[in-house]
């Protein structure tokens, strides 16, 4: 079963976490944006979205909690070249007690194309024990509300092998 890709307009229904012009240092020997910078744009966008949900810079020092990436899957759909404008849009998909499933959609605004997706599972962590822990009672409802708000009526282009698995 193949999930259709969202249109450029559909992706723009999600707020841009990042919006920038691709600098020369992002370009590799093939003349397009290097793989590492797609991952960086996805990871930065996800971090900013977590910050919006009160899990940002102060989360570790104030609460001793964080999120670790457990798995990611990158898919490329179109080249991005130097000087083109890109933006990262994050869609939260699902969560379990300790895991958040999300996807960062990177669009080439100059060409109005979906360029790449970075799908992730984030595990909520207790930094003292270095073990997974449940989302706190004040954070879980924020995440749930964001997941609901991000359900925009079009299917997320997920790989199908990742998710927020729940124990039975």
Task: Report pLDDT digits (tens) over 72-90.
Answer: 999 999 999 999 999 999 9
Tell me the pTM. Answer: 0.94
Longest dimension (CA), the chain: 50
Give the sign of the dihedral formed by CA 113, CA 118, CA 119, CA 124: negative
The predicted pLDDT at position 131 comes to 97
Do the bridges between strand 99-108 and strand 85-95 make them parallel or antiparallel, or are there none, so unpaired? antiparallel
Confidence check: pLDDT of 167 > 60: no
Give residues with Cβ within 8 angstroms of 136, minimum separation 6. Answer: 63, 65
**Structure confidence at residue 168 as a pLDDT band (50, 70, 90):** very low
* Domains and their CATH numbers in the chain: 8-145 (3.10.129.10)
Confidence check: pLDDT of 64 > 90: yes
pLDDT, one tens digit per residue, over 16-42 is 999 999 999 999 999 999 999 999 999
115 burial via Cβ count (<10 Å: 0-12, 13-18, 19+): buried
The predicted pLDDT at position 163 comes to 80
pLDDT, one tens digit per residue, over 105-133 is 999 999 999 999 999 999 999 999 999 99
| Alpha carbon distance 98, 96 (integer Å) | 5
Confidence check: pLDDT of 1 > 60: no
With contact defined as beta carbons under 8 Å apart, do 33 and 80 qualify? yes
With contact defined as beta carbons under 8 Å apart, do 52 and 90 qualify? no
Token representation of residue 145:
């509300």
Q: Where are the alpha helices (DSSP H) in the chain?
A: 8-11, 35-52, 59-63, 140-150
Residue 6 φ then ψ, to 5°: -70, 155
């Amino acid at each position: 079963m193949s999930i259709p890709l969202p249109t450029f307009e559909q992706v723009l229904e999600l707020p841009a976490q990042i919006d920038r012009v691709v600098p020369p240092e992002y370009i590799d020997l093939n003349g397009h944006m290097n793989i590492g910078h797609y991952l960086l744009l996805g990871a930065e966008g996800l971090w900013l979205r977590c910050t919006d949900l009160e899990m940002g810079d102060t989360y570790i020092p104030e609460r001793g909690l964080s999120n670790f990436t457990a798995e990611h899957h990158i898919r490329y759909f179109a080249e991005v070249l130097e000087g083109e404008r890109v933006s990262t849009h994050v869609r939260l998909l699902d969560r379990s007690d300790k895991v958040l499933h999300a996807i960062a959609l990177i669009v080439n605004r100059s060409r109005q194309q979906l360029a790449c997706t970075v799908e992730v599972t984030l595990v909520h962590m207790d930094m003292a024990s270095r073990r997974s822990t449940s989302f706190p009672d004040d954070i879980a409802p924020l995440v749930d509300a964001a997941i609901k708000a991000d359900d925009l009526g079009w299917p997320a282009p997920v790989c199908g092998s990742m998710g927020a698995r729940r124990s039975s």
